[in-house]
Amino acid sequence: MLSRARFAIGVLGCIAAVMSCSSSESTAPNVLNLRPGIPSSWLPVGTNSPTYVVGLDNNTVHGGGAALAIAGTDTSVLRFAGVGQFIRADSYRGKRVRLSGWVRQANIVGSDIGLWMRIDGPGVTQGFDNFSSRPLRGTADWHSVEVILDIPQNAIGIAFGALMSGRGELFVDDLTFEVIPATGPTTNQLLEFAPTTTDSATTAGFFATRPTGPTNLNFEAR
């Protein structure tokens, strides 16, 4: 079963803005080197909860001078925070794509923590993975993770990024978005296309204004 975070990210009307959600369970995270703010070319996804902070860290990096950092003190699976990019599917239709990157975690506890990707089609979600089947947990040094999905011929858009639903510190750096040979399994969590509440015209209209490919995958651009 897909988590609640999957449905929250999937609401097209909310993907370009942070939704409001109050919390009285925990206080705001306090991470010494995290500079709050959404990196260039990325958009916020998730709930506007004081139990999360998203930004850049210039000390804990895999390469270059900055990494995405998400910190949480959340104890509810109803809330999450992260970033996303939304691109047109034109160049990727009929192909298999892989979103991979380097992650580092500290004291992570939660339900959906890692990378995410969604394929938006005409009135349906055609593919989805938000790491809910293999959430990052505990503490670990930099290691590579990936999401692999097939892009149908009638796909409209592709959404992807990183998220956290839980508590701890997650660092993400040096992402790669690439076409790969269609051999072996994907990480798709959908057994079949999932109907959405967003009509095809609205989805097409949104993605018509989006880029044709990803940018600032290493979080270096300001």
What does the pLDDT look like over 76-119, one tens digit per residue? 778 999 999 999 999 999 999 999 999 999 999 998 999 999 99
User: What pLDDT, on a 0 to 100 scale, did the predictor assign at position 30?
Assistant: 67
pTM: predicted TM-score of the whole model, two decimal places: 0.89
User: What pLDDT, on a 0 to 100 scale, did the predictor assign at position 5?
Assistant: 45
Classify burial at 27, counting beta carbons within 10 Å of its beta carbon; exposed 0-12, middle 13-18, buried 19 or more: exposed
- Say if CB 150 and CB 89 are below 8 A apart: no
User: What pLDDT, on a 0 to 100 scale, did the predictor assign at position 17?
Assistant: 36
The verdict on residue 222 lying in a domain is no
Q: Please state the rounded mean pLDDT for residues 186-206.
A: 96
The verdict on residue 221 lying in a domain is no
What does the pLDDT look like over 203-220, one tens digit per residue? 999 999 999 999 999 999
The residue with greater pLDDT, 12 or 174, is 174
146 pLDDT higher than 60: yes
The verdict on residue 21 lying in a domain is yes
CATH number of the domain that 67 lies in?
Answer: 2.60.120.260
Q: Is 188 helix (H, G, I), strand (E, B) or coil?
A: coil
- Say if CB 7 and CB 1 are below 8 A apart: no
- The whole domain housing 201 covers 4-208
75 pLDDT higher than 80: no
Please work out, in degrees rounded to the nearest 5, the angle formed at the alpha carbon of residue 213 by the alpha carbons of 201 and 150: 75
Task: Kindly give the pairing relationship between strand 19-20 and strand 43-48.
Answer: parallel
The verdict on residue 150 lying in a domain is yes
> Token pair for residue 69?
């950092």
- Say if CB 80 and CB 164 are below 8 A apart: yes
Residues forming beta bridges with residue 129, ordered by sequence position = 117
Confidence of residue 12 (pLDDT cuts 50, 70, 90): very low
User: What pLDDT, on a 0 to 100 scale, did the predictor assign at position 68?
Assistant: 98
User: What pLDDT, on a 0 to 100 scale, did the predictor assign at position 115?
Assistant: 98
- Say if CB 40 and CB 33 are below 8 A apart: no
The verdict on residue 195 lying in a domain is yes
DSSP summary character for residue 39: P
The verdict on residue 165 lying in a domain is yes
Tally of structural domains, the chain: 1
The verdict on residue 32 lying in a domain is yes
126 pLDDT higher than 60: yes
- Say if CB 217 and CB 177 are below 8 A apart: yes
What does the pLDDT look like over 46-70, one tens digit per residue? 987 889 999 999 999 999 999 999 9
The residue with greater pLDDT, 27 or 183, is 183
The verdict on residue 217 lying in a domain is no
40 pLDDT higher than 80: yes
Alpha carbons 39 and 188: distance in angstroms, whole number: 27
153 pLDDT higher than 60: yes
Mean pLDDT of the residues in the chain: 88
> Token pair for residue 148?
């692999």
